[in-house]
Structures are given as structure tokens and as C-alpha cells.
């Protein structure tokens, strides 16, 4: 953090002194924004006049490469050489499908359509003398059709497809003569189309044209081996753009009143360290890609100092006249962002040791700061999916959502003048050096049909909805709820385990000390002398570790504490008749101390973990849960715990999170039997006397359809929930058997892995609950469309993914997922009482001001309130996870530095919510709740030894009566005197 202080001090000085590097403050500014609040999704609208656009490029979609007099472009030639497998000869055949494209544009509801002119279709050999009327009429028709549906054209003069004749004759953009040739081509286009075009792009992405067309040879014309040639190419591209701009400004702007710019693409870069040197390297990386062309146009007509310093004579220089000619030749900042530069087109040599990122918001802020607040039109933005993907493209959809949301924050929060956004692209097409290996269209194109059939993808539906709503307006369900939970609501905190120190802390030191009372009051140890050992039973008060833990739990303000016992330690041999009495006594003391502190213990008998086996050794070594004796051994262990701890424990969890995907169906079957046996032991033998409740706790992260309007995604989401939650829930809370959908799906796969309940087991398991307990931490998205084999479940045929706008740490933070999970329980199992037994987020243990956890708890509890108050879920309690980092690293309300325990900010915030029993309406009368009954500490005697307890009560009554008689007799005698 101290490194940022130095950096920010430097920036505060340089931001006023060195305006050309004003973008350098971007990283420092964003590092100071409140976390995670600034990362939360922003619900708001774009300005009313915001430009919503979609775009294409001629060579990618037009096809008809030799039709109606069109000349060859460098891409027509390039795709026929080397090892290339495909061409854009047909592309999406937009040349013959104007009506289909117009229909798609109209369906989207965009206000603008960006497309490029094929230079070789208008001038087959690149010059006016080869004018092609038919090719020109194609664009006249396209513009006319756009006007008919009230969509404004955004026209690009050059999108990488130089007429091949100019390449072969002049050497392409390496020849300065192309500046005048391009100017003449632009003049023709302004004259023919200009009355209907208000936004012009001269050249698209000159960085790719120069570096990869004439440097690496990755794109057309595929020239390489001259490392200095790209800089000469870039020089000519800038001068060609400037010539076209001045032409338009002098001869066409007064009448046509349009605007003109060059589309500049850029990556984003993050510093690998917080040092100033890293920030300078980031700045230099952007200067070598974006600043290479932006600084001459928007600042001073010259290249960035960083480029000049590092490239020296390799970089051409502008004369004074050329600088004046170039400077200021852009009416708006046309920015391309996203996949264009992400296919290794920005190599490590241009990252200067820093880390590439996709943060559009920071890039917009940098452009705004670096180039003196220009109007920014995002003229290309989006992502891609695999070429095999059809109409379901949720990955592309969520990247679109991310980029649009970042543009909205840039406007609303950062004050950047973003005037428009262009989703790329309208339809699938030929993707340059990736050919047809990827798809970027909002509309799917079936390249195998003669008519190149177009179908809207999920991303098209999403984009249409965003345009229709002009952003992401806040809906009622997005707003925080106000209200309180019911009286006697259970507020708790959970821990996987507690600290166990079975040696009484008070009497471990037998040394003798001399108290130096006359001087400084210190204790001086007398060497060689020790006190005799004390021969008395251990008392609960002897365990200082218990007192400390209970005190920390009490400070949270909860009325319940949930922790797990260690089965393998309590019953090492597996025989419940031979328990570890010392450990059992420790647990007994712990639960008793909790009760004395008015905190109800909630005890888990067995907590499933992937890291270690925690069954008794005899069972662990003999097939674990597959051992048919394990369920009965568990029931015997449960009986021991009920008997020894039941006087203080009124809520029991038999199995905690047994529904792990790593657990086999056979193991799960035995776990269900074990739970049922343990529940019935309590119901028969202990419930009447102890009055407690027993259930199991299931892990239940929410599963959301990636595209909620698609039945094809809704069904996979239901399937995952059946397999993850219904697997254990339905036999207990429902039918006594596994979910019908689960069994039928496995039968469809010819799988016999799922066991069958016999009638005896069905009756054993069904109804063995007193409440429904869940652990909930996060939310996942699923879709049926396979995109990434690493996160694809072949058995369930679902693709797991996340919304890229979600906060992550490391799991996504999605508060509304808890509300949906609670409603799932209600919908499936009606009015069953529900407890959220664990809910928390992992955060850096060094963050004692744990703002992410503060945000997480507030919002998740608020969603729980919505489930209770608005949806009618029978929610009985909520447990934050976890108590401390020592037992549950990264999840704790308490942190620890060596031996010092630190109270984190989240603890105080959670305690405040508990004290108010939720989120009361401001100004409303306080909630009136009856006082909770105090625990009857002597009642345990009546439970465990009813005869002794009865005689104790009778004896106490007799003594009290005798005392009253003696008192009044004595008083009467005094009155007689």
C-alpha cells in the first residue's frame, strides 16, 4: 500500500504539470475507489440520446468477391496463399442478403449500423478510373434500406481490404502515394453517400494494419521480415486519414454536417507491481498501441515521447507542417475494444512486463484523461465463441453485459463522455486470421445453407433488451429491502470446529512463585521447588480456552453457535461404548458454557471434508461409508452424543454437507441411512426428555440458467439442482426416493449407479427431519451449450460458467442467489422451517477492514429478508460463516496476528444487523419482542437423574418452608415483647 502512496504523490504533482501524460493517474484513481462497492453492478440508464449500434466489416460478411465487377482485395489474395484453409469469398453473403441483414438490424432496435465499404467493389483497381456503378449501387441500396427503418449509417472507408492492384503496383500502404489515392477515394464516397451519413470512420484499427499486415504477416497482405516497415506504414495511414479529414472539413462538412474520425483499437494493461516504474511501463504499452495513432490526432501532431525514446530513428518523424496537418483531425474518439487485439495480437514485447486486462472502463477513463475529455464512441466491442456454437452463446452475452456495464459506469460514476456503443458483430462471418474457427455475430449464420440463414442468438436477445430499456434500470428486486425478521429469529455464527485443549489450563504449571509485593509486584519463580499435584476432578472453569472462545462468540451478539464434533477423535475405535471421555467432557463443558452465556449450541455430528477422512480408523480402513456397518456405527455414536450432550444441545445436525459431488451415489445412499438411523434414535429415545430438533445440512449454492428465457438452459439448471440438492433432499423431505428426473436421466444414460431404496429403507429415511438446513456461499450459471471442456460436465451435459460482471473472491458474490435457493426449498417442500447454517465469503486474512465481507453479509442477509418477508419462506435462522480465521482461514469475523486476536469490521456490522433484527424502516417504532426465557441450568439434573432431581426439588422446598416458619415465629416473639 505504501507503494501506491508514493505513486499517488507523484501523480498529484505530474497531473497538473504534465498534461500529455494525464492518463498516468488512471491506475492510482481506480485503486482508491471503494471496494467492493465500486465493483458491484450498477443499475442505471444511459443518456436519452445514447447511440446504440451494431457493426460489420465488408470482407467478413459481403462475399461475392468477383461479382458485378468487383476487383480483388489483398484479403482475396492473402487467403489463397500459405497454409490458410478458408476464404471470405462467400462470407455471410450479405451482398445477396440485404433484406435479411436489414431484418436483423430492425429486430435489434439499434439506432446506428456501422459497416465498411469495399474499396475494390467501388474502384476495382483502387482508383477513380475503374469506377464500378453496380458495386456503388449496392451501398446506395443498403443506406436507403437503413433510412427506411430509421437507422443511421456509420460508414468505414477502409477496413483492412485494400484493392490488391494498389498493393501489387505501389507496394500498398508502404508507398506515400497512397495518401492521395485514399483521399480521392474518400472524396468520391463523401460526394456519393455523404448526404445520408453523419458518422465516418476513415481507417479501422491502423495498429493491426501496420504491425500485423506489414510486420508479423499475420493478416493481409502478410508482409514480414522488415521490423521498421510497420512504423512507415503507420506514418502513411495517419497522413491519409488527415488528408481525408481536411477534405471533408473544407468541402463537405458545411453542408453534410457529419463527423469523422479514425477507429483506434487498444488493449488495457495493469501494473505487475505498485511501483512508479510499472505504471510508466503501462503508460508506454498503451502509447505503443493506442497512443501511436491517438497522440498525433488528439494532442500535438507527433508520436508519444515513450515511442520516440525507445524506437529512435526507426520511427519516422513529422515535419512542422505535417504536425499541423495531422493535429486535431478527429471529431470524436472512435474506440475499438475487445477481441480484436486479444488473439495474441498484442504480444509480450508490447506489454513491457505488465499484465494485459480487459477493463473497458479504465481504458475509457485513460482516454478521457490522456486526450482532454473527447467524446468517445465505442465503435467495436464484444467477444467471441467457438465456431461450433450455434444460437446459444451465453459467453458472448455475458461479455457484452460486462462491457456495456463498464461503459455505463464510465458515464455515471467517472464522468466520461461516452456517446455510443457498438456491439460486434451483427452476423457471423469470416474472422480474419481465425477464419471460421470462431463466431462473433449476434446472429447465427448457417454457412451450410444456400441462403446463409440468419437466426438470433441469445446475445442478440440480450442486446435488444438492453437497448429497449436503455441500459439496466433498477427493478424492485434489485433494491435493498427494509424490515425485520420475526421475534425469536435465530442469529448464529458457524465454525467447522472449535479449539480443543483438554489439559485444564488453570493447573498445568506446578511451579512456586514469590510475589514481590513490596517492590514492583512481579512474580518471581522459585527454582527447584514445585507444588504437589492437585487431586480433584476437573471443572469446566479450568478450561481457559473454552472461556475465551465463548467470550468471543458472545461478542458477536449471536444467540446460536454452530460447530462440528470430531467422530474419529470421540470414538477412536469406532465402538461408542469406548469413547474418549476426556474429549467428551471437554465438549460437555463447551456446550454448558455456551448455554450459560445464553448461546444455544448447534452441534454437527459429522462434517464432510474432502481434505481428510474423519471416520473412526476401523471404519476408515474398511470401505468407509460403503461399509454396511457404518450407518449403525454412526447411529450408536449419535446416541452417545445425545445422551452426554443433549441436556445443553437443542439443535443437532447429523451430517453436514454430505452432498458433495465427489461422494459416490453408493456412499450417499449409506449416508442417508446413517442420518435416518440417527434421527430415529433421537426421536424414540431423547426427544421427549430433551425437546431438541435434528436434521442434516446440505450444501446448496444456487444454479441459475445462463439465459433464463431459454428452456434449453432452464432444464439443465433444474437437472443440476436435482443431482446436487434433490439427491439428498427428496428421500428425506419428499417422496422417500431419489428425484424422478435424476433417476430418469441416469436411466437414459444406461447408468445403474443410483441405488434403489427397498421398502424398509424408504420408510426409514422418509420424513427424518425437523427443519431444512442449507450452507450457501455462491451461485453458478449453467447452459447446455458446450464451450469450455474444463468446466463442462459430460454426465449432466451442462456447461458451468459465471457472469463476468459478478464480484469474485474467489467464488462469485451473488446475493440474490440465496433468495432463489430459499425459494427453491419452499417450492419443493412447502412450509418446512429453513435455516441458513453457513453463509460467508473468503477474503485476504490481512484485510481486517474486511469490506468485502461487510458487503457480502449485508446483501446476503438482505436477500434472506426478502425471502422471508416478500416470498413467505419459513426462514427461522441465519448463521454467518465463520467465527475466526484460525479455524476457517479467510472466512473469519475474527483475524489473528500471532497470538493477538483482531476484531474485523464485519463483526461489528453483523452485530449491528443482529441488534436491529434486520433492516428496520427508518423512523418506524422499534420491534417489540417478548424477553427470551432464561435457560434452566438445573434442568439437566431432572433430565439425566430424574429421581435425584425430584428429591432435590422437594428438599429445597422443605428448607425454604422451614426458613419462612422460623422467620415469622421469631418476628412474632419480638412483637410480644
Torsions phi, psi for 566 (to 5 deg): -110, 100
Helix, strand or coil for residue 52?
strand
Q: 312 exposed, middle or buried (CB, 10 Å; 0-12, 13-18, 19+)? A: exposed
Contact by Cβ (8 Å): 860, 918: no
pTM of the model: 0.89
Contacts of residue 267, Cβ cutoff 8 Å, sequence gap at least 6: 285, 286, 289, 341, 342, 346, 356, 357
CA distance 409 to 34: 14
Q: What is the Cβ-side half-sphere exposure of residue 266, based on CA atoms within 13 angstroms?
A: 29
- Tell me, letter by letter, the H, E, C secondary structure of 437-477: CEECCCEEECCCCCCCCEEECHHHHHHHHHHHHCEECCCHH
How is 645-682 classified by DSSP, letter by letter?
A: HTTT--EEEEEES---TTS-HHHHHHHHHHHHHHHHHH
The residue written with cell numbers 451478539 in the block is 557
Q: How many helices (H) and strands (E) does the chain have?
A: 35, 36
Contact by Cβ (8 Å): 445, 453: yes
CA distance 516 to 190: 100
Q: Which residues of the chain have pLDDT under 50?
A: 1-18, 342-344, 937, 940-944, 973-977
Contact by Cβ (8 Å): 219, 340: no
Residue 624 has which C-alpha cell?
Answer: 468407509
Distance of CA 272 to the CA centre of its chain: 22
Q: What is the DSSP letter of 262?
A: E
How is 614-649 classified by DSSP, letter by letter?
A: -S-HHHHTTTGGGSTTHHHHHHHHHHHHHHHHTTT-
Contact by Cβ (8 Å): 372, 298: yes
Q: What is the DSSP letter of 319?
A: -
Taking residue 556's Cβ as centre, other Cβ atoms within 10 Å add up to 22
Q: Which domains, and CATH codes, for the chain?
A: 24-475 (3.20.20.80), 490-526+544-706+765-776+811-918 (3.20.20.80)
Q: Are strands 918-919 and 483-484 parallel, antiparallel or unpaired?
A: antiparallel
Strand partners, 156: 116, 201
Q: pLDDT for 252-298, tens place per residue?
A: 999 999 999 999 999 999 999 988 999 999 999 999 999 999 999 99
Q: 29 exposed, middle or buried (CB, 10 Å; 0-12, 13-18, 19+)? A: middle
Strand partners, 52: 421
- Cβ-count burial 436-456 (b if 16+ within 10 Å, e if not): bebbbbbbbbebeeeebebeb
pLDDT at 970: 60
The residue written with cell numbers 454457412 in the block is 447
Contact by Cβ (8 Å): 440, 92: no
Q: What is the largest CA-CA distance in the chain?
A: 141
Helix, strand or coil for residue 728?
helix
Contact by Cβ (8 Å): 654, 695: yes
How is 773-804 classified by DSSP, letter by letter?
A: EEE---EEEEESS---GGGEETTTTEEEE--T
pLDDT at 976: 44
CA distance 314 to 301: 18
Angle at 857 between CA 852 and CA 861, to 5 degrees: 150
The residue written with cell numbers 467478413 in the block is 60
Contact by Cβ (8 Å): 182, 233: no
pLDDT at 339: 72
Q: In which element (H, E) is residue 688 found?
A: helix 687-690
pLDDT at 189: 98
Q: pLDDT for 744-789, tens place per residue?
A: 999 999 988 899 999 999 999 999 999 999 999 999 999 988 888 8
- Report how far apart the first and last C-alpha atoms of the chain are (Å, whole number): 85
pLDDT at 933: 59
Residue 205, preceding peptide bond in cis (omega within 30° of 0): no
CA distance 87 to 399: 28
Strand partners, 676: none
Contact by Cβ (8 Å): 396, 457: yes
Q: Are strands 152-158 and 112-116 parallel, antiparallel or unpaired?
A: parallel
Strand partners, 564: 604
Q: pLDDT for 153-165, tens place per residue?
A: 999 999 999 999 9
- Treating both helix axes as pointing N-terminal to C-terminal, what angle do 581-596 and 544-556 enclose, rounded to 10 degrees? 40
Residue 183, preceding peptide bond in cis (omega within 30° of 0): no
Q: In which element (H, E) is residue 55 found?
A: strand 51-55
Taking residue 15's Cβ as centre, other Cβ atoms within 10 Å add up to 17
Q: 531 exposed, middle or buried (CB, 10 Å; 0-12, 13-18, 19+)? A: exposed
CA distance 405 to 124: 42
The residue written with cell numbers 446448496 in the block is 700
CA distance 547 to 28: 46
Amino acid at each position: 500500500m505504501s507503494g501506491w502512496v508514493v505513486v499517488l504523490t507523484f501523480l498529484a504533482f505530474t497531473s497538473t504539470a504534465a498534461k500529455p501524460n494525464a492518463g498516468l493517474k488512471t491506475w492510482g484513481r481506480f485503486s482508491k475507489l471503494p471496494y467492493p462497492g465500486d465493483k458491484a453492478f450498477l443499475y442505471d440508464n444511459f443518456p436519452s440520446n445514447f447511440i446504440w449500434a451494431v457493426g460489420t466489416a465488408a470482407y467478413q460478411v459481403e462475399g461475392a468477391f468477383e461479382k458485378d465487377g468487383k476487383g480483388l482485395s489483398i484479403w482475396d489474395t492473402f487467403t489463397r496463399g500459405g497454409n490458410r484453409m478458408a476464404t471470405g469469398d462467400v462470407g455471410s453473403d450479405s451482398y445477396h442478403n440485404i433484406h435479411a441483414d436489414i431484418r436483423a438490424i430492425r429486430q435489434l432496435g439499434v439506432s446506428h449500423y456501422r459497416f465498411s465499404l469495399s474499396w475494390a467493389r467501388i474502384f476495382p483497381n483502387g482508383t477513380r478510373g475503374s469506377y464500378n456503378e453496380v458495386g456503388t449501387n449496392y451501398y446506395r441500396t443498403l443506406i436507403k434500406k437503413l433510412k427506411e427503418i430509421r437507422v443511421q449509417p456509420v460508414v468505414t472507408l477502409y477496413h483492412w481490404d485494400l484493392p490488391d492492384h494498389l498493393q501489387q503496383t505501389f507496394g500498398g500502404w508502404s508507398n506515400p502515394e497512397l495518401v492521395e489515392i485514399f483521399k480521392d477515394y474518400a472524396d468520391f464516397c463523401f460526394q456519393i453517400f455523404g448526404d445520408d451519413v453523419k458518422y465516418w470512420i476513415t481507417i479501422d484499427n491502423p495498429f493491426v494494419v501496420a504491425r500485423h499486415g506489414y510486420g508479423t504477416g499475420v493478416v493481409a497482405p502478410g508482409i514480414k521480415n522488415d521490423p521498421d516497415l510497420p512504423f512507415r506504414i503507420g506514418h502513411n495511414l495517419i497522413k491519409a486519414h488527415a488528408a481525408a479529414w481536411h477534405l471533408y472539413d473544407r468541402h463537405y462538412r458545411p453542408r453534410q454536417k457529419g463527423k469523422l474520425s479514425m477507429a483506434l483499437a487498444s488493449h488495457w494493461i495493469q501494473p505487475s507491481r505498485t511501483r512508479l516504474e510499472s505504471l510508466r511501463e503501462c503508460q508506454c504499452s498503451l502509447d505503443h498501441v493506442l497512443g501511436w495513432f491517438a497522440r498525433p490526432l488528439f494532442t500535438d501532431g507527433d508520436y508519444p515521447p515513450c515511442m520516440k525514446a525507445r524506437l529512435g530513428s526507426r520511427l519516422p518523424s513529422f515535419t512542422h507542417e505535417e504536425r499541423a496537418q495531422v493535429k486535431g483531425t478527429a471529431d470524436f474518439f472512435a474506440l475499438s475494444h475487445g477481441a480484436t487485439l486479444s488473439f495474441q495480437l498484442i504480444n509480450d514485447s508490447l506489454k513491457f512486463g505488465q499484465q494485459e486486462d480487459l477493463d473497458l472502463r479504465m481504458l475509457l477513463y485513460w482516454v478521457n484523461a490522456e486526450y482532454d475529455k473527447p467524446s468517445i464512441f465505442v465503435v467495436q466491442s464484444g467477444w467471441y465463441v467457438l465456431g461450433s456454437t450455434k444460437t446459444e452463446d451465453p459467453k458472448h452475452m455475458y461479455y457484452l453485459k460486462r462491457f456495456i456495464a463498464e461503459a455505463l459506469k464510465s458515464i455515471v460514476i467517472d464522468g466520461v463522455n461516452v456517446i455510443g456503443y457498438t456491439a460486434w458483430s451483427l452476423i457471423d462471418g469470416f474472422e480474419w486470421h481465425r477464419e471460421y474457427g470462431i463466431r462473433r455475430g449476434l446472429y447465427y449464420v448457417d454457412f451450410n445453407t444456400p441462403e446463409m440463414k440468419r437466426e438470433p442468438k441469445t446475445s442478440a436477445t440480450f442486446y435488444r433488451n438492453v437497448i429497449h430499456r436503455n441500459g439496466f434500470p433498477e427493478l424492485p428486486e434489485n433494491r435493498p429491502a427494509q424490515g425485520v425478521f420475526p421475534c425469536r429469529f435465530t442469529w448464529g455464527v458457524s465454525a467447522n470446529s472449535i479449539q480443543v485443549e483438554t489439559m485444564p489450563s488453570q493447573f498445568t504449571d506446578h511451579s512456586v512463585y514469590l510475589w514481590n509485593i513490596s517492590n514492583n509486584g512481579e512474580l518471581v519463580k522459585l527454582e527447584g521447588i514445585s507444588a504437589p499435584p492437585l487431586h480433584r476432578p476437573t471443572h469446566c472453569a479450568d478450561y481457559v480456552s473454552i472461556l475465551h472462545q465463548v467470550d468471543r462468540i458472545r461478542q458477536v451478539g449471536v444467540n446460536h453457535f454452530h460447530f462440528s464434533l470430531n467422530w474419529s477423535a470421540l470414538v477412536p475405535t469406532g465402538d461408542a461404548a469406548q469413547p474418549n471421555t476426556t474429549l467428551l467432557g471437554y465438549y460437555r463443558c463447551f456446550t454448558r458454557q455456551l448455554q450459560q452465556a445464553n448461546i444455544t449450541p448447534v452441534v454437527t455430528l459429522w462434517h464432510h471434508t474432502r481434505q481428510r477422512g474423519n471416520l473412526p480408523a476401523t471404519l476408515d480402513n474398511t470401505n468407509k461409508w460403503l461399509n454396511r456397518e457404518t450407518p449403525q456405527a454412526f447411529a450408536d455414536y449419535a446416541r452417545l452424543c445425545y445422551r452426554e450432550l443433549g441436556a445443553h444441545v437443542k439443535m443437532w445436525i447429523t451430517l453436514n454437507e454430505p452432498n458433495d459431488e465427489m461422494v459416490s451415489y453408493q456412499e450417499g445412499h449409506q449416508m442417508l441411512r446413517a442420518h435416518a438411523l440417527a434421527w430415529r434414535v433421537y426421536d424414540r429415545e431423547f426427544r421427549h426428555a430433551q425437546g431438541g430438533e435434528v436434521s442434516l445440512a446440505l450444501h446448496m449454492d444456487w444454479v441459475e440458467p445462463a439465459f433464463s428465457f431459454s428452456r434449453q438452459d432452464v432444464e439443465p439448471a433444474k437437472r443440476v439442482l436435482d443431482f446436487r440438492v434433490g439427491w439428498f433432499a427428496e428421500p428425506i423431505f419428499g417422496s422417500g426416493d431419489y428425484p424422478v428426473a435424476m433417476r430418469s436421466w441416469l436411466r437414459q444414460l444406461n447408468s445403474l449407479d443410483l441405488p434403489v431404496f427397498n421398502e424398509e429403507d424408504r420408510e426409514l429415511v422418509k420424513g427424518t427431519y425437523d427443519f431444512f438446513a442449507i450452507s450457501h456461499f455462491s451461485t453458478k450459471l449453467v447452459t447446455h451449450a458446450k464451450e469450455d471442456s474444463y468446466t463442462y460436465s459430460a454426465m449432466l451435459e451442462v456447461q458451468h460458467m459465471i457472469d463476468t460482471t459478478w464480484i469474485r473472491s474467489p467464488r462469485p458474490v451473488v446475493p440474490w442467489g440465496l433468495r432463489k435457493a430459499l425459494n427453491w426449498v419452499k417450492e419443493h417442500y412447502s412450509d418446512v422451517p429453513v435455516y441458513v447454517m453457513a453463509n460467508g465469503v473468503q477474503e485476504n486474512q490481512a484485510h481486517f477492514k474486511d469490506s468485502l465481507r461487510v458487503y457480502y453479509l449485508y446483501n446476503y442477509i438482505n436477500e434472506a429478508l426478502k425471502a422471508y418477508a416478500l416470498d413467505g419462506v419459513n426462514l427461522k435462522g441465519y448463521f454467518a460463516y465463520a467465527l475466526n480465521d484460525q479455524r476457517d482461514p479467510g472466512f473469519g469475523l475474527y483475524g489473528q496476528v500471532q497470538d493477538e486476536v483482531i476484531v474485523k469490521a464485519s463483526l461489528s456490522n453483523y452485530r449491528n444487523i443482529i441488534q436491529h433484527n434486520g433492516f428496520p424502516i427508518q423512523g418506524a417504532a422499534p420491534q417489540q419482542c417478548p424477553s427470551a426465557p432464561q435457560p434452566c441450568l438445573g434442568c439437566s439434573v431432572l433430565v439425566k437423574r430424574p429421581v435425584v432431581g425430584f428429591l432435590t426439588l422437594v428438599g429445597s422446598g422443605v428448607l425454604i418452608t422451614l426458613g419462612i416458619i422460623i422467620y415469622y415465629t421469631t418476628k412474632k416473639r419480638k412483637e410480644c415483647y
